[in-house]
Amino acid sequence: MSYGHADKLAGLAGIPATDREKSAPAIDPALYRREDVRRIMAERDIGALYRVLKDAGITQRQIAELTRQSQSEVSEILKGRRVRDVTVLERICDGLGIPCELMGLSYGQSSARSEDGAYPGAEGDPDPEVEDEMRRRVLLAATSLAALGRVVTSLGELAELALPQTGDEPLPSRLEMSHVQAVEAVTQRLRAMARQYGGQAEVFGAAAKCYMRWMGVPATDAVEARLSCALAELHTEAGWACYDSGVDGKGYFTRALRLAGEGRDGYGIGNTAWHAGASLVRSGHPNDALKCFQLGQLSLAGFQPAKSKPATFRTDDPRVPTISARLDMSSAAAYALMDHPEQARRALADAQESWQPCNVYESADKDLNAARIQADLGRFDTAEPFAATAARTFGEANRRDGATAVVVLAELHVRTGEPRGLQLAHHAVVTVTKLSSVRACRQLEPLAVALEARRSSDAQELARMARQVAATGA
């Protein structure tokens, strides 16, 4: 996105070139990098933004020209009228040359992003890597805000990422506990479907948007608190489904943290922090992931977030010990990838000692995580039994995570030159192709590298197949 659209707008309005600078001068992009202005834009306080522009020498009439608003509209906004319409906010960003991410907006074809959400790459457009870094910073800020009551990362403000609004479906006149139980049941069923087939980001997103509308329906304090917790879990699963689908789900994680914080739900914050960190740990950002895990542990400990809020987080949820162990396990993975083997081994030992799986799925998940961490530490012989057990246990009951276990097992056999390595590699590739999981496809990359190190023609052909399938998740 280019900064300052005065020439373009003036040209469209038929203003002579000699009068354009006087009519609507370009805005120095450095203005939007000021800390106070970034905070204003994060809060979408358009009135305050317009006052900053006036202080910078932009008149009320020029603001109206740039944003395609009437002077009376600009005057009302300056007097305190809030701008909530997303299309108007988009037009303001476009006219004033504000990068869309500074207001947490999701743009369409007519703006900086194309229909698939990718940036065209033209000169002046936001760099996708820069945007991803900002989203990670927002996620970390949200995690610390939920866990500690204040932002402790380098991000100075929290910009809530906007999620699309839903349609005009009728709302209940009053919420009862049965409504909350319905949200919880839907979350469980969608989670089961995602484990079986992978992906499901669109389905989770539709459910999250639908049930968020219930937040404005009258209810008792108890119902409101439990609804916040239920919606936090639904949004956490939506963020994870996005990650599994190869889509950015940080906005869902950010909203989940806010909802869990409103419900004083220590488990909810820890659960979201674990999912959010797990989406970062093997995406090249183990340091950021570790921060999420550590903040999640603080919330589970019933940390006192702020003096103005005397009530601590509720930590009586029976799932707290499990999520705490998951955070330890994932911390071990982050330490291993950051080349801190001793810390990784300590965190892994803590997790294995405290994690008492309550079902078969959790037992397999524990084994799979242990296998991956041991492999990261170069202890392939120790990793193999864990991976084999996880693959057997998951079976057809959880094909998504079972595919990960099969891929890890195959990679271990190929790397150590085991006779069944190529057979397992072929099985891994075929298993992944049956899923709607971009994440599973990408996990074939390390297997392809291991296969390419083998000299046989069969290994080379399998490597080609693995890379071809992995490319579908690129």
Helix, strand or coil, per DSSP, at residue 306: strand
Tell whether 57 and 149 lie within a shared domain: no
Tell whether 137 and 84 lie within a shared domain: no
CB 273 within 8 A of CB 299: yes
pLDDT for 223: 92
Tell whether 53 and 195 lie within a shared domain: no
Tell whether 310 and 412 lie within a shared domain: no
Among 288, 323, 356, residue at a domain's last position? 356
pLDDT digits (tens, 9 = 90+) for 38-85: 888 888 889 999 999 998 889 998 999 888 898 888 988 998 888 877
Tell whether 68 and 27 lie within a shared domain: yes
Task: Answer yes or no: is 169 within a domain.
Answer: no
Tell whether 322 and 247 lie within a shared domain: yes
Alpha helices in 3-70 (DSSP H): 6-12, 17-23, 35-42, 46-55, 60-67
Helix, strand, coil % in the chain, rounded to nearest 5: 65, 0, 30
Domain that holds residue 134: 128-164+176-356
Q: Angle, nearest 10°, between helix axes 250-262 and 201-212?
A: 40
Among 356, 390, 418, residue at a domain's last position? 356
CB 466 within 8 A of CB 447: yes
Tell whether 405 and 451 lie within a shared domain: yes
pLDDT for 132: 63
The whole-angstrom separation of Cα 107 and Cα 103 is: 11
Q: Which of 464, 467, 424, 472 is nearest to 444 (CA)?
A: 467
Q: Angle, nearest 10°, between helix axes 399-415 and 360-376?
A: 30
**DSSP tally for the chain: helices H, then strands E:** 23, 0
Task: Answer yes or no: is 362 within a domain.
Answer: no
| Positions of the chain with pLDDT lower than 70, given as ranges | 1-25, 86, 104-142, 144-169, 302-316, 473-474
Stated as kind and residue range, the H or E segment containing 363 is: helix 360-376
Query: What are the distances in angstroms from CA 107 to CA 78, 87, 163, 353?
Result: 25, 9, 11, 47
Tell whether 338 and 393 lie within a shared domain: no
pLDDT for 127: 53
pLDDT for 474: 52
pLDDT for 162: 33
pLDDT for 314: 58
- Total number of domains in the chain: 3
The whole-angstrom separation of Cα 427 and Cα 407 is: 9
- The CATH code of the domain that includes 345 is 1.25.40
CB 119 within 8 A of CB 128: yes
Among 325, 356, 387, residue at a domain's last position? 356
**How does DSSP assign 98-129, residue by residue?**
--GGGGT----TTSSS-TTS-----TTSPPHH
pLDDT for 22: 47
Tell whether 34 and 153 lie within a shared domain: no
